[in-house]
Amino acid sequence: MKLPLLFGLLAMTATAGCAVTPENFETDPVTLATQDGDVTCQLYSSRLTTWDRSIDRPASMSVKTADEICQAEGRRVLVEG
């Protein structure tokens, strides 16, 4: 009975540091000029656009709009390479 518990604990310990988080895929931030001002985007792996988001935006722009701009940039990078 103790052996399965030991294997379970070893498996949990071995995979504890392997969590997939956005930080593992971050690229350098990019700044995009828009008519309302600059939007700084945190893009992730060139094969993943789900997490792309804004990290800075003009005060007059909503977070949703800034995030949409960044996601569009992520898709552009994905297509153009």
Local confidence pLDDT in tens for the 81 residues of the chain: 566 655 565 565 555 566 767 777 888 999 999 999 999 999 998 777 889 999 999 999 999 999 999 999 999 998 987
Q: What is the pLDDT of residue 62?
A: 98
**Cα separation values, 63 from 8, 32, 40, 66, 73, Å:** 43, 15, 12, 5, 15
